[in-house]
Amino acid sequence: MPIVLVHGVPETAAVWDPLLEILGPSDTETVRLPGFGAPTPEGFGATKEEYVSWLIAELERIGASGPIDLVGHDWGGGFVVRVVSIRPDLVRSWVTDAGALGDPDFEWHDFAKIWQTPGEGEEFFAQQLATPVDESATIFEAYGVPLDRARALAGWADEEMAGCILRLYRSAVDVGREWGPDFHDIAAPGLILLPSDDPFLSADGARSSAKRAGVEIAELPGIGHWWMLQDPAGAAAVLSDFWASVS
């Protein structure tokens, strides 16, 4: 039974490595979003809808080997929200930490608003890419990421990734209004993760989305945005318990 893990931004699929070490041998696939440590296909515009279409195609391919347990983090979690809204048949179960994107009243965090602003977003990433990795790592460490993992995370960004991030966020200014109405009464069993110390996604939005989707919330007390790096053992336990509960 395949487990499919979908990373977010500014990340690569390697963000899941500590969690995979805890989960142990399993039929797990960590898909690589185009432009994030993976090539960008010719003509790919890196919009939210293109990423959703790409993920649907990946799930159709992977699903040939059995029902999928889908897990998404950050934007990967946002794509999960959309996939289970329009193609719940593709999964046995789903987990996201970005349930707030399914709230019609969703509002973006301050970094997203910078990236969505022409000129300001380009300047932001020009400065980021010029900053030494060790200096950038301290920012991720401040969000709860262990230092060694923070250094790795800080080193993944490049110009291609930055360009994809800008195009993705600029396609998603009104994502709640556009995706929220379809995120309700989801047929496939699901779980919304709620890290208590995540400054980027609204806890109220996640709770509202969980109620509308008809799923439970798993609180992650004392954990930040990068829960799979900060506490992979705790995350593995939550996921394993949820999968065991799915009939």
**CATH architecture of the domain formed by 3-106+175-245:** 3-Layer(aba) Sandwich (3.40)
Give me the chain's average pLDDT, please: 96
Q: How far is CA 161 from CA 10, 34, 37, 121, 218, in A?
A: 7, 9, 8, 13, 31
Residues in the chain predicted with pLDDT less than 70, given as ranges, are none
Contact of 72 with 93, CB cutoff 8 Å: no
pLDDT digits (tens, 9 = 90+) for 37-58: 999 999 999 999 999 999 999 9
For residues 163 and 137, what is the distance between their CA atoms, to the nearest angstrom? 21
10 preceded by cis ω (within 30°)?
yes
For residues 143 and 185, what is the distance between their CA atoms, to the nearest angstrom? 33
CA 234 to chain centre: 18
| Whole-number pLDDT of residue 64 | 86
| Whole-number pLDDT of residue 25 | 75
Domain boundaries, the chain: 3-106+175-245
pLDDT digits (tens, 9 = 90+) for 106-126: 999 999 999 999 999 999 999
| Whole-number pLDDT of residue 26 | 80
CA 5 to chain centre: 9
| Whole-number pLDDT of residue 194 | 98
| Whole-number pLDDT of residue 24 | 82
| Whole-number pLDDT of residue 202 | 92
